[in-house]
Amino acid sequence: MHRREFLSWSALGLGLAALPQGLRAASPDRSPWSDVFARMPPALAALVGDPQHAVQLRWVRIVRDAGGARRYITHDHGLAPRRWFPAASVAKLPMALLMAEAVQAAGGGVDSVLRLDAAPVSGEWGDEPLADTFARGIDRTFAVSENRPYNRWYELLGGEHIHRRLAELGYPQVRLIARLGSSDIEANRRNGGGALLSVDGRTLRRFPATTARARRFPFGRALSGEGWQNDDGSVTRGPHDFSQANFLPLADSLRMLQAFVSPESVPAKQRWRIVGAVRARLLRALAMRPRESTSPRYPEAEYPDGYARWFFVGDGKARYSDGLSVSGKSGMAYGALSEVAYVVDRDSGVECMLGASIRVNADGILNDDRYEYDAIGIPFMAAWSRAVLDVERGQR
């Protein structure tokens, strides 16, 4: 990910007067959002009411009673669960959880080896080895958001298992139907299979090669944008059809995360079958900063804490404060940013869950790599999350 220089707030051309009516000041008798937006730079708060940016927000307050039991209070703003937006790397969260279930069910652990029978027929792969440990895959995924571990897990699990299990967990409309880096619809239906190996090389499970049935966006056609830039630089005008791309509503991805970090908060049938050492290692990976990874190692000068996480620190090179833990996944694709996270601020006792997405594609052209990620999108995500945390701290 290459970062451009950030624009100043005034360069966005928006001021306090541009705030939507009702967002200019906090008041006890107004929505809790008023207090949050009032603590953001006005130019960024104004984006919430702009349809061009299609902002979706979910803030889940976690309040503990005297006995330590959690109560969840959900505040939503602009959620549109039937509107397509790029799942991007947030899709790695459920894929990692599905793979963890399969590893554990076969008697494996995080150091077990996942070996493909052959390289995937599409998607990002390059010089990736056919065999790698599950632990290394989850560290690469959550520390710096590498794509190849996802494609490995996709290749082993296959589309039918993926969607059958997602439906059992309560997510029948989620679609994980494409490898990362592949738009080949037919190739994405096929997976080549492989094996799960113990540390000493024993085969714990074989994953067969299969072909999944065709699946599409569940709510009609998924049209987005005003044009598509082709590989030769030409632009095909009109909305692009993403009906056979991955689809993961923001609320669903945050619910998946909640069901993993706090299984007691969801019905038993929605809980991931991940326990013990595998669960502990995955929890560690979910909160891993790049500088904390040992295999591979990522130099902090190139991979700051906000390299692949937008909340709180994405708009600079600062570290997370020592008392702040942020567990989750972010995504970036086609001019859209999204992130879901479980946040614990040990200094104040705050616990909350955050989910946000924003579209930053002023010219409406997709696949042209001209998006306002650094100028608008990441600063918005960082400022919004900081504002929520500030409000939360004030209520303790």
Residue 227, domain member (yes or no): yes
User: What's the confidence (pLDDT) of residue 30?
Assistant: 57
Distance of CA 133 to the CA centre of its chain: 22
- As a whole number, the mean pLDDT across the chain is 92
Position 355: which residue type?
G
The one-letter amino acid code at 287 reads A
CATH code of 321's domain: 3.40.710.10
- Kindly give the pairing relationship between strand 210-211 and strand 336-345: unpaired
Q: Tally the domains of the chain.
A: 1
Phi-psi region of 335 (alpha: psi -120 to 50; beta: other; left: phi over 0): left
Does 36 map to a domain?
Answer: no
What is the per-residue pLDDT for 64? 87
* Phi, psi angles (nearest 5°) of residue 255: -65, -40
| Residue 66 pLDDT | 85
Please check whether residue 71 lies inside any domain of the structure: yes
Write out pLDDT tens, residues 112-165: 999 999 999 999 999 999 999 999 999 999 999 999 999 999 999 999 999 999
Q: pLDDT of 156-179, one tens digit each?
A: 999 999 999 999 999 999 999 999
Averaged pLDDT for residues 269-286: 98
Residue 78, in any domain of the structure: yes
- Residue 156 in any domain: the answer is yes
Summarised one tens digit per residue, pLDDT across range 360-387 is 999 999 999 999 999 999 999 999 999 9
Indicate whether 35 belongs to any domain.
no
Q: In whole angstroms, what is the distance from residue 358 CA to residue 85 CA?
A: 9
Instruction: Give the pTM.
Output: 0.91
**Considering the domain boundaries, does residue 37 fall inside one?**
no
pLDDT tens profile 12-49: 333 333 333 333 333 334 578 999 999 999 999 999 99
304 occurs within a structural domain = yes
Residue range(s) defining the domain that contains residue 238: 50-394
